[in-house]
Amino acid sequence: MSSEVRVLDLVNRWAQAELNGDADAFGDLLSDDFAGIGPVGFKLDKQQWAGRHRGDLKNHHFAILDPQVRLHGDTAIVSGVQEQRTSVRGHEVNDSFRVTLVAVGQGDRWLIANIQLSGPLQDPSAPPPFARERG
């Protein structure tokens, strides 16, 4: 199996763990020094990332669309769109985000070392939030 296929398999297993709320699965998917950076700038380590699923976070839909893998030796950079329908702390988060994931090859397996989200996505012709009139 090629490295690209193995990285895509890792991304799919991660997305499935997110959808199922399987906090224990992250132990085999994330590197020990993992950093997850959310769309508004918060940073979570491996235990905190898994811990989101031990609280009231529930993904009703979670998918990574059009993942693109770029390999650089034992490092892979994956970019795509994270589409989700999620409830957390009594709020619905039903949006799409740009996601960049960094995976590292360690022996015969790949692990996710970093996830960075940005968004939610908007039409490129729309003014950015800081340039919009406040009502």
Note the pTM of the prediction, 2 decimals: 0.88
Q: Where are the domains of the chain?
A: 3-120
Beta carbons of 70 and 77 less than 8 angstroms apart: yes
Of the listed ranges 24-33, 48-57, 83-92, 121-130, the least confidently predicted one is: 121-130
Tell me the C-alpha to C-alpha distance, in Å, between residue 94 and each of 41, 51, 85: 18, 21, 4
pLDDT of residue 1: 83
pLDDT tens digits, residue range 6-20? 999 999 999 999 999
pLDDT of residue 111: 98
3 vs 76: CA distance, rounded Å: 9
pLDDT of residue 93: 85
Task: For residue 89, name the pLDDT band (cuts at 50, 70, 90).
Answer: confident
Q: Which amino acid is at 48?
A: Q
110 vs 90: CA distance, rounded Å: 35
Eight-state DSSP code of residue 126: S
Q: Is the pLDDT of residue 132 over 90?
A: no
Tell me the C-alpha to C-alpha distance, in Å, between residue 53 and each of 70, 75, 113: 29, 27, 19
Q: What percent of the chain has pLDDT over 90?
A: 78
CATH class entry, domain 3-120: alpha beta
